[in-house]
Amino acid sequence: MSQTPEAPQLARRLGAFDATMIVMGGIIGAGIFMNPSVVARAVHTPGLILGAWIVGGAIALGGAFVYAELAQLRPQVGGQYAYLRDAFHPMVAFLYGWGLLLVTQTGGMAAVAVTFANYFRELTGVGMSSAWLAVLALAVLTVVNCFGVRSGSNVQSALMVTKIAAVLALVTIGFLAPAASAATAAVAPGGDKPVWIAFAAAMVPVLFAYGGWQTSSFVSGELKNPTRDLPRGLLIGVIGVIVLYLAVNVVCLHALGTAGLAATTTPASAVMRLALGATGARLLAAGIAVSTIGFLSQGMLTAPRVYYAMARDGVFFRKVGWLDPRSRVPTVAIALQGVWAAVIAVSGKYDQILNYVVSMDAVFFGLTGAALLVLRRRETARGGDAAGMGAVTMRMPGHPWTTLVFVAAFWGLALSTILQFPGASGVGVLIMLAGVPVYLLWARHGRRAVGP
């Protein structure tokens, strides 16, 4: 009697180095080359500028510990999606994936793709429009990732190593530039806002620049040893990013001074121009182009696993949960993300979409921290490991107080963003609420998962 062949499963082909590169690749985009000046315009002394980046780094490191412990409690495909589903309700997880596909991931990728296209055109003089160059970049990365997780990870790791080299080059060359003059080194002109309000405003671009480590959790199902390699990758990757970000800010303050940093909108380019003239500016443009394409590569590798997990849970189109039997990757999910990001890039609506992202992301960051509180409580109530996975070796230090601070920081950011930008945040809330009837429709039809 013939047996039905087993359905293909995700291939566990990634290790700790891949996880580290994915973590760093999800954080470092074009923001660090521009956001130092935004922070300097909000707070007006070197101590407060560096302090904002240190506090942001501490919050990011806290997030790495939160996700590291959750990765050991729930080493499942979809990562953050699985944490929210198991701690709260499948609808909460669905709304996260819904927002990820419609807005936060694809909108961000569209904006970054256009940024890459702009720098690529500047460097090469190619006549193609930025929108269609962005579509071409997204298409190439979609195809690469459809060949398999190893193929996508190799490209991502190579781009990440190049990106690190670009940041180190900026820091090294920047220190060779003459120190800022007394005029530009002076304290930047300040507003009349209290220090704590100005510091809170500075934290918005800082936390935005540090965001992205969570996407590494999406590939848990393709790590050889997710309970070991993902926590290691999270901690090493986030610490590495903190060091690089602080180095960039120190060199910007060295070369431009506080007032000079606040006065420019392109601080990294200004530093390179001071050090090497026009050649320096072109080198920096090349570095930003590599950084943006690396960020796109990371997004194409990770986020489709969430849509795949949604389909496997029976709350999304069954075809999205299909694995190519040869490459063992969710090719339909990958293509879906690539196509939607390309549509947004061509539509030119990515700038508006980015206005919705910060508050939505912050809400779900806080919920994920709360998920750790819930799962820890269940573990204690059961007298052991909540998931039956054995001892958890990596815990959030100072839990529950540090976890509560993490939750409060991101929900505070969400509230601050909503108060500052009520229109954009309101649209984000409406998009999220629109997912509720969609989820209920799937639940009413009783769609079954397509597999384990």
Select from 299, 427, 304, 410 the least CA-distant residue to 361.
410
* Average pLDDT of the residues in 93-111: 90
Q: Which amino acid is at 316?
A: F
Select from 236, 180, 190, 247 the least CA-distant residue to 213.
236
Is residue 115 domain-resident?
yes
Is residue 368 domain-resident?
no
pLDDT band for position 89 (cuts 50, 70, 90) = very high
Looking at every residue in the chain, the average pLDDT score rounds to: 85
For residues 199-222, one letter each, b for 16 or more C-beta atoms within 10 angstroms of the residue's C-beta and e for the rest, the string is bbbbbbbbbbbbbbbbbbbbbbbb
pLDDT higher than 60, residue 76: yes
Tokens 């939505």 belong to 360
Contacts of 245 (CB under 8 A, 6+ apart): 32, 53, 57, 209, 210
* Average pLDDT of the residues in 117-130: 86
**For residue 220, what pLDDT is reported?**
85
Gap between the Cα atoms of 227 and 240, Å rounded: 21
Total domain count, the chain:
1
Is residue 277 domain-resident?
yes
**For residue 390, what pLDDT is reported?**
47
Contacts of 203 (CB under 8 A, 6+ apart): 52, 55, 56, 413
pLDDT higher than 60, residue 448: no
CATH of the domain at 199: 1.20.1740.10
Is residue 343 domain-resident?
yes
Domain range for 151 = 16-78+111-348
pLDDT digits (tens, 9 = 90+) for 304-334: 999 999 998 888 888 998 888 888 889 999 9
Is residue 371 domain-resident?
no
Is residue 436 domain-resident?
no
Is residue 103 domain-resident?
no
pLDDT digits (tens, 9 = 90+) for 24-75: 988 888 788 888 998 998 898 899 999 999 999 998 898 889 998 898 888 8
Find the Cα–Cα–Cα–Cα dihedral 170, 351, 424, 359, rounded to 10°.
-40
Query: At 217, which helix (H) or strand (E)?
Result: none
**For residue 204, what pLDDT is reported?**
79
Query: At 155, which helix (H) or strand (E)?
Result: helix 149-176
**For residue 4, what pLDDT is reported?**
42
Select from 388, 67, 15 the least CA-distant residue to 222.
15
pLDDT digits (tens, 9 = 90+) for 220-266: 888 888 888 988 999 999 999 999 999 999 999 999 989 889 888 88
pTM recorded for the entire structure:
0.86
Contacts of 333 (CB under 8 A, 6+ apart): 304, 305, 307, 308, 311, 320, 321
pLDDT higher than 90, residue 335: yes
pLDDT digits (tens, 9 = 90+) for 398-412: 889 999 988 998 888
Q: Radius of gyration (Cα) for the chain, nearest Å?
A: 22
Dihedral of alpha carbons 229, 234, 239, 240, sign: positive
Is residue 396 domain-resident?
no
* Cis peptide leading into residue 400 (ω within 30°): yes
pLDDT higher than 60, residue 144: yes
* Average pLDDT of the residues in 79-105: 91
At residue 149's C-alpha, the angle toward residues 294 and 164, to 5°, is: 25
